[in-house]
Amino acid sequence: MHVTKRSFFEAQRFIDRFRLESNIIDSIDKMLEEKPIFVPFDEFTVKRLNNAAIESPRATSYYEGRRITKESVKRFQLGFSEKQDMVTIPMHTPSGDMCVGFVGRSVEGKEFKNTPKLPKSKILFNLHRVKAYDTVYVVESSFDAIRLDQAGIPAVATLGANVPKSQAELLTKHFNNVIVIPDNDNAGQEMAQRIVEKVGSRATIVNLPSRFKDIGDMTDEDIKQLTQIVQDPLLSIIK
């Protein structure tokens, strides 16, 4: 009943059919084996792609265009795959003890590609670096989280507009205050509402001025002004 999600009588009928074909005890034991939540990604590949990003003029130009500093390229082990012409962002477990894969983004256009079986629903980008803080800023994109980090602001990224229960539980487990900065589009607003519904009163939504699509469009000064307004609501909104 537990393994196949059947009622008692449905499970009985299933067993009658199943045991004619194989040893049901061995099959159920195999089904009940606990599988690891996270599988480590090759650390050599992480270092190789990071070195490629540091040495490649094309990757350097891309990161500079996104206002990502050289220090952040090293700190976050950002990479570059010349073969696929993609920049890569390593993803880690909530504890930070292992890399579990990459999110890749094309240098030209806006094509995304993840490593196979990347457990996006069970992680938040940058969580292990900021989980000691009382307050966290939540954005959709890993690059937006990096931009906030460069301004000294603890931030995580959901890696998409969909926010499953497992990600919301990570937020409530580690933070008392969750400040959501959605992208200025429908998907961003939906993401913010999902977090509020699942996190409750801990969550606050801060909308960007209409001229910005997301954090990536903002200068460092714009970001600092935005977070100052969050800390002191009496300040006027960014013009």
Which pLDDT score, from 0 to 100, does residue 32 have? 67
Same domain (yes/no): 196, 219: yes
Which pLDDT score, from 0 to 100, does residue 236 have? 43
Q: CB atoms < 10 A from the CB of 129, how many?
A: 17
Same domain (yes/no): 44, 109: yes
Domain boundary (98, 118, 138) is at 118
- The model carries a pTM of 0.81
Q: How many structural domains compose the chain? A: 3
Answer whether residue 211 shows pLDDT above 80.
Answer: yes
Same domain (yes/no): 149, 163: yes
Question: What is residue 99's DSSP assignment?
Answer: E
Same domain (yes/no): 141, 225: yes
Answer whether residue 118 shows pLDDT above 50.
Answer: yes
**Cα gap 186→30, rounded to integer Å:** 44
**Cα gap 30→35, rounded to integer Å:** 10
- Identity of the amino acid at 27: S
Mean per-residue pLDDT, 48-66: 96
Q: CB atoms < 10 A from the CB of 56, how many?
A: 18
Same domain (yes/no): 67, 18: no
User: Which CATH number is 159's domain given?
Assistant: 3.40.1360.10
pLDDT tens for 83-92 read 999 999 999 9
Domain extent for 96? 37-118
Same domain (yes/no): 231, 186: yes
Higher pLDDT, 228 or 141: 141
